């Protein structure tokens, strides 16, 4: 007859259960406590993250190790309970009715974590994703645990105008904690931003812009010469980016690159595009950026880009160019600026003063022009009607259809389609937007692409119709099918491709000079058509939003019209 098995062989001793329960409750309690400690402000510091996610559960594991037969079991058990509790508390609070943004609609994944929007951003379709969210949810959409996207044109001035909100945490993940300086565009302190912007305001004053006209004229002539030597079809995207980089090199450093002559021998454009894509992810998930900046791969890539900019900057500092450039003002060579930027700040600003915004606008302009033959013909007629005077900057400023084409391009495909978020803070307090209250410590963003595509602001918003920017008489004459009735809507206050207010794009007027001259000079010298087999839908779908735009190839056939003057 068999003997009954002992209880001690089939069940752990009762004190083991008590030990496991004590360990569970301890990890649970510390998980909840840690949540309340760190809930007040989202930290991006690797040190704090290490304490929160590693040091605390490790210390707990050591304190309860006696209850487990193996330290690995203790470590695994404690980490799981602690981190699960911490994450569960975060998720429950963000979805709860007690969250400050609980009343604002938005996708569940967006409310839970910015990791989702970070993932979406890497596909390059963030502008389309958020635009569709506004179509579904309305003017204010919760796109992050503490972030709102806004489509209302009436919110532009309250958020970006004279009493603008400071920059949000969006740029915090783009710079390592130990970075010697941050660029002007990323500064969150409004007073510091105002001080650092002073040399930029001088660099883009009316008199300074007049000094840059010969630079723009010379560089656009080099582009025309380069295009005339290429075999058609030409990848216009590539050549416009070459031009833009050389133009910015002329403007910032007084020269230094000749991509129009040599091509991109250093691989700068792929490096910049990769940096923009990675930087966009870090903008949405700043703590991830701070962690990865500690890794050799990312740190090395960043050092390479900084070294390239510093090489140009130091070369510029060692010589005196024949014209005033941006560094003339950043280095205070005229001696007119108090509290001029430090060398580290000048370097940081030179890295951010990239050429990709103007380049993408120009390429998209030619894409829209060549896919709309009537618009192409009208612009060509305006340029030809002025003969050689069309190549004068002053004349181009007075050409209504040229400026209408540029503005319509910037409306329908803004170079920075998703905008640059701001934030309410404890210092600014909350803000009322109509009947809705935006609480403190909330990131808010006017979504440029959505505002520009809103039919309440612009009639037939998805159509490329430059005539909307002309006088009423010219509109009805040139576009009768669009303007034949009285329902035309054109809200100029909603148009803000360069943002508005004290933190708007300081180089806006330079960009207009550059675009006018380039477009005029190319159309003055060439007949253009898209290459056979060009897929317009593929190009349009291939426009990527990585803060600035990344574009597909635009194959164009160039035929010389007349001798260049």
- Quote the CA–CA distance of 443 and 400 in Å, as a whole number: 38
**Dihedral pair phi/psi, residue 554, rounded to 5°:** -120, 95
User: Running DSSP on this structure, what letter comes out for residue 166?
Assistant: P
- Range 95-103 contact pairs with CB under 8 angstroms and sequence separation of 24 or more: 99/145, 100/146, 100/439, 100/441, 100/442, 101/142, 101/145, 101/146, 101/148, 101/439, 101/442
- Quote the CA–CA distance of 439 and 425 in Å, as a whole number: 9
CA-wise closest residue to 498 among 156, 111, 199:
156
CA-wise closest residue to 291 among 49, 46, 43, 53:
46
Whether 505 has a binding-site annotation, put simply, is yes
Cβ–Cβ under 8 Å, residues 476 and 488: no
Reading the block at residue 283, the tokens are 């903008």
Reading the block at residue 358, the tokens are 């103007």
Residue in this structure with the two tokens 């003017």, named with its chain if needed: 139
- Quote the CA–CA distance of 216 and 515 in Å, as a whole number: 10
Q: Which residues contact 70 (CB under 8 A, 6 or more apart)?
A: none
CA-wise closest residue to 35 among 78, 76, 94:
94
Question: Rounded to the nearest 10 degrees, what angle do helices 400-412 and 373-385 cross at?
Answer: 150
- Count CB atoms within 10 A of the CB of residue 88: 14
Task: Taking the CA atoms of 177, 181, 183 and 186 in sequence, report the sign of the dihedral they define.
Answer: positive
- Quote the CA–CA distance of 404 and 331 in Å, as a whole number: 37
Q: Which residues contact 269 (CB under 8 A, 6 or more apart)?
A: 241, 245
CA-wise closest residue to 182 among 352, 296, 46:
352
- Quote the CA–CA distance of 368 and 297 in Å, as a whole number: 39
Cα 250 to Cα 217, 317, 327, 393: the distances in Å are: 12, 14, 11, 18
Residue in this structure with the two tokens 């210390």, named with its chain if needed: 59
Binding site: which residues? Answer: 505
Binding site for heme: which residues? Answer: 505
């Amino acid at each position: 007859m068999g003997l009954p098995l002992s209880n001690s062989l089939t069940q752990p001793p009762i004190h083991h259960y008590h030990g496991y329960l004590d360990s569970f409750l301890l990890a649970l309690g510390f998980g909840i406590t840690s949540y309340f400690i760190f809930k007040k402000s989202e930290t991006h510091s690797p040190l704090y993250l290490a304490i929160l996610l590693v040091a605390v559960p490790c210390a707990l594991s050591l304190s309860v190790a006696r209850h487990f037969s193996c330290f690995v079991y203790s470590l695994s058990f404690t980490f799981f309970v602690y981190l699960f509790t911490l994450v569960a508390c975060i998720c429950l609070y963000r979805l709860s009715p007690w969250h400050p943004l609980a009343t604002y609609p938005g996708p569940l994944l967006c409310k839970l974590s910015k990791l989702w929007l970070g993932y979406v951003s890497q596909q390059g379709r963030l502008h389309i994703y958020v635009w569709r969210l506004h179509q579904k949810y309305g003017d204010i959409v919760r796109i992050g645990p503490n972030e709102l996207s806004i489509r209302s044109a009436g919110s532009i001035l309250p958020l970006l105008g004279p009493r603008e909100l400071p920059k949000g945490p969006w740029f915090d993940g783009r710079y390592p904690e130990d970075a010697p300086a941050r660029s002007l565009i990323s500064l969150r302190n409004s007073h510091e931003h105002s001080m650092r912007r002073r040399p930029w305001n001088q660099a883009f004053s009316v008199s300074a812009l007049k000094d840059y006209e010969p630079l723009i004229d010379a560089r656009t002539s080099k582009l025309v010469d380069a295009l005339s030597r290429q075999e058609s079809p030409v990848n216009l995207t590539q050549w416009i980016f070459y031009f833009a980089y050389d133009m910015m090199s002329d403007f910032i450093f007084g020269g230094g690159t000749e991509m129009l002559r040599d091509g991109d021998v250093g691989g700068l454009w792929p490096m910049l595009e990769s940096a923009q894509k990675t930087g966009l992810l870090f903008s949405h998930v700043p703590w991830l950026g701070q962690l990865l900046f500690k890794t050799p791969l990312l740190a090395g890539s960043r050092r390479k880009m900084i070294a390239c900019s510093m090489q140009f900057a130091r070369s510029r500092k060692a010589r005196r160019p024949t014209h005033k450039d941006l560094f003339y003002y950043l280095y205070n060579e005229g001696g007119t600026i108090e509290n001029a930027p430090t060398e580290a700040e000048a370097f940081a600003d030179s890295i951010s003063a990239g050429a990709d915004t103007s380049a993408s606008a120009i390429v998209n302009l030619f894409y829209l022009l060549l896919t709309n033959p009537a618009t192409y013909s009208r612009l060509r007629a305006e340029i030809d009607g002025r003969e050689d005077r069309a190549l004068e900057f002053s004349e181009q400023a007075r050409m209504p259809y040229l400026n209408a084409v540029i503005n319509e391009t910037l409306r329908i495909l803004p170079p920075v389609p998703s905008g640059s978020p701001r934030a309410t803070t404890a210092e600014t307090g909350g803000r009322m937007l109509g009947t809705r209250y935006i609480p403190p410590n909330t990131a808010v963003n006017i979504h440029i692409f959505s505002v520009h595509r809103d039919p309440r602001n612009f009639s037939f918003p998805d159509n490329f119709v430059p005539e909307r920017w002309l006088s009423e008489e010219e509109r009805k004459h040139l576009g009768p099918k669009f303007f034949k009735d009285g329902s035309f809507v054109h809200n100029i206050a909603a148009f803000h491709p360069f943002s508005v207010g004290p933190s708007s794009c300081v180089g806006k007027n330079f960009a207009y000079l550059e675009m006018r001259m380039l477009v005029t000079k190319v159309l003055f010298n060439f007949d253009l058509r898209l290459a056979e087999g060009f897929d317009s839908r593929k190009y349009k779908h291939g426009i990527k939003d990585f803060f600035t735009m990344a574009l597909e190839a635009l194959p164009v056939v160039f035929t010389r019209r007349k001798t260049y003057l």
